[in-house]
Amino acid sequence: MKTPGDAGFAFPDWAYKPESSPGSRQIQLWHFILELLRKEEYHDVIAWQGDYGEFVIKDPDEVARLWGARKCKPQMNYDKLSRALRYYYNKRILHKTKGKRFTYKFNFNKLVLVNYPFIDMGSAGAGVPQSAPPVPTGPHFRFPPSTPSDMQVSEVLRSPSSEELRSPGMFSGRRIARGSVSDCSDGTSVNSEIEDGNGGVAEERVTERVAERGGGGGGGFRGAVHPRLSHEAMFRMYGGPGGHRGHRVSEVGGHRVHPEPLSPFTVSPLPGPGGPGLLAPPLSPALSMTPGSHLAYTPSPTLSPMPGSIFSFNPEDMQRYLQAHTQSVYNYHLSPRAFFHYPNIIVPQPQRPDKGMPGPQGCDRGPAERPSVLNSHHSSLPPPHAHPIHHHLGEEQHHSPFKFKLQPPPLGRKQRDSQGRQSSLSSSSTSGLGSSLSFGSDLSSASGSGLVSNSSSTGSLNSAGLPKIKVEPISDIESEEEVEVTDISDEEADERDEEFGVFPSHYHKHRHHHHHHRNHYPHSQKHQQPNGTDAALHPDEDLEEEVFKAPAPPPFFLSPTSSSGDSRRGTTVVKSEPVEPADMQLASGGLPQPNSQCIPLKLRFKRRWDQDQHMEEAEDKKVRGEERGRERNGMAEESGSGSGSGEAESPPPLAHHRVSAELHRATAQLSLENKEC
């Protein structure tokens, strides 16, 4: 049967926009999946299930058949289809729900990123991009109504009206609807329609800002359209042919509840050209439990109702989302890594149920109960501008029941394969290190300790000269992913991390590496196959790297205040530095600097790490050498001089001395560099 949740899931337009999806060219599998998911008629074949964004393919063969039909690939079968799905793992669009057959989970966050290239990550620090595009990823996220009328309804996400609005031009009718089983036409042409609407993004941003400041009145819609965005239809949802949403909405009726509890996206009524609405997959139970978080959340009125607009989100939304997420993390005993670490956002103290929570799975649709909670919560929500912008996450971490254990960066495959203990640090190690280090902002203390512990624990990094360092984007995302948390463990944690991760992952590969190193990760052992593919940056990585390198912070996390504007990167840097300034500076010490450009914090850490390792080794060798020398020669000798490691020349004490000196030097150097930055 269908529950409200089942009924129609709306997806943001962006999901169909050409860029993100091959929209114009050919439908992508994930689009197709979404398409099926939103259609009631296919619920016997594939449906949202349990967790947020999670769906189960009830009839693999049928899904494959449908897919094959759509792609005109009669030979399609589940095996092939699943291969395609697996490719999404790396892209982080999707992941497998372990232990559940044919069950996968969308990582909408990722999708958002993918689809929001425009998100300005560029204005680092300072300016917040004007908009922040936010990627509404959380379950509680709502896409703003596209039309003014919708807007007014701040309260209900989807008032019928909105629905109506949407329906008209909806996208759904166009491509998607036709789709699933369609003949072999690929819905290429369709996009034009979608694209028209656009423009909204820019507006959205503006609006958002306005809203933030103004507190949301319903006003503020402005319409500046960002050029870049023009083609993006972003959050228009495609309304389903039937208007599933509508009824859902009604169910929810006067509540501010999500009309579609099950969906990852709430429906936002956007009438716009694109008619957007989002359908969402089921919320995860965890989330639902979160008081107030998503469910109650109502799109801020100010959000733009622009035509075509897209969704806008405001800090509150973000906050709620994060809160929900956090709660979820706690509820599920997820890895701390799963926490979002964004400045400016205060995450409520999670209430950790002593006992288990309702299993995520369960069922699909059971939204009905959340309303009350939401409502109540909602009322308590702070005014838009009231967002606190603090780095609570960090604090949370402290309070968190989780124990962090930072581990040394894993060797890269290459290294492993080549046994290379040679001179280069593998990229993976870099990433690992970087992550833990970069974590600083998030887990400030943790990161700091991480360094220490790491350095002490791993003596094996090679001592060779310059490590090959892969410069990675500074994103805490990575760090989140890569920090090892021993206490949690289950894949769910991983999944959740990813699920909520908004990160692009430029670390797909890295991620895998991680898994390899995680004992508890189910697949960890199997993937140890060699392959040199990751020696170089993965394509995705490159891509993502760029994204992260972009100057501006993700709008998403922008807070109303200027400071909030930091992007992940900015945040990371800012926060991290305080943690261990000296270390940071030292990070690059001794290592050759390509040039005096600013060195990413992460890199610095990495270097620092390397250096530490280096030194330790050197000292070790020295000590050993000396001991040996003494043993052999008695005690004379200028021991050490020739022992292999050309570096260590001085006796232990001296070594320390030297180290200190080097560190100082390095520090000075770095300081200079930093100034330049």
CB of 111 to DNA, least distance (A): 11
The percent of the chain in helix, strand and coil, each rounded to the nearest 5, is 50, 0, 50
CB of 71 to DNA, least distance (A): 4
**Tokens, residue 573:** 């840097």
CB of 661 to DNA, least distance (A): 44
Q: How far apart are CA 501 and CA 481, in angstroms?
A: 9
Judged by beta carbon, residue 23 or residue 261, the one nearer DNA is 23
Judged by beta carbon, residue 87 or residue 399, the one nearer DNA is 87
Q: How many CB atoms lie within 10 A of CB 549?
A: 18
| Residues 17, 238 contacting (CB under 8 angstroms) | no
Helices (H), 253-360: 285-289, 315-331
Judged by beta carbon, residue 531 or residue 596, the one nearer DNA is 531
Judged by beta carbon, residue 80 or residue 385, the one nearer DNA is 80
| Residues 414, 457 contacting (CB under 8 angstroms) | no
CB of 102 to DNA, least distance (A): 5
CB of 32 to DNA, least distance (A): 7
Judged by beta carbon, residue 186 or residue 195, the one nearer DNA is 186
DSSP 220: -
Give me the residues that bind DNA (CB under 7 A), please: 22, 28-30, 67-68, 71, 73, 75-76, 79-84, 86-89, 91, 96, 98, 100-103, 512, 523, 525-527, 529, 531, 533, 539
Compute φ and ψ for 447, nearest 5 degrees: -65, -40
Judged by beta carbon, residue 76 or residue 252, the one nearer DNA is 76
| Residues 459, 619 contacting (CB under 8 angstroms) | no
Q: How far apart are CA 144 and CA 142, in angstroms?
A: 6
Q: How far apart are CA 447 and CA 398, in angstroms?
A: 12
CB of 436 to DNA, least distance (A): 22
Radius of gyration, CA atoms only, the chain: 26
Judged by beta carbon, residue 35 or residue 212, the one nearer DNA is 35
| Residues 265, 143 contacting (CB under 8 angstroms) | yes
Judged by beta carbon, residue 457 or residue 531, the one nearer DNA is 531
CB of 97 to DNA, least distance (A): 8
Tokens 């069950």 sit on residue: 103
Judged by beta carbon, residue 84 or residue 229, the one nearer DNA is 84
Judged by beta carbon, residue 187 or residue 589, the one nearer DNA is 187
Judged by beta carbon, residue 100 or residue 213, the one nearer DNA is 100
Please, which residues have CB within 8 angstroms of residue 396's CB and are 6 or more apart in sequence? 326, 339, 347, 349, 350
Tokens 């959000």 sit on residue: 303
Distances in whole angstroms, Cα of residue 185 to Cα of each of 25, 29, 232, 234, 255 = 10, 14, 22, 23, 41
CB of 507 to DNA, least distance (A): 13
| Residues 313, 345 contacting (CB under 8 angstroms) | no
Q: Please give the full DSSP string across 109-135, using - where no structure is assigned.
A: HHHHHHH-TTS---S-TTPPPS-----
Three-state SS string across 445-474, please? HHHHHHHHHHHHHCCCCCCCCCCCCCCCCC
CB of 143 to DNA, least distance (A): 23
Judged by beta carbon, residue 98 or residue 658, the one nearer DNA is 98
CB of 512 to DNA, least distance (A): 6
Tokens 């949403």 sit on residue: 245
| Residues 140, 295 contacting (CB under 8 angstroms) | yes
CB of 586 to DNA, least distance (A): 35
DSSP 154: T
Q: How far apart are CA 491 and CA 338, in angstroms?
A: 12
- Burial per residue of 123-151, b for 16 or more beta-carbon CB atoms within 10 angstroms, e otherwise: bbbeebbbbbbbbbbbbbbbbbbbbbbbb
Judged by beta carbon, residue 60 or residue 134, the one nearer DNA is 60
CB of 72 to DNA, least distance (A): 8
CB of 489 to DNA, least distance (A): 17
Q: How far apart are CA 159 and CA 499, in angstroms?
A: 28
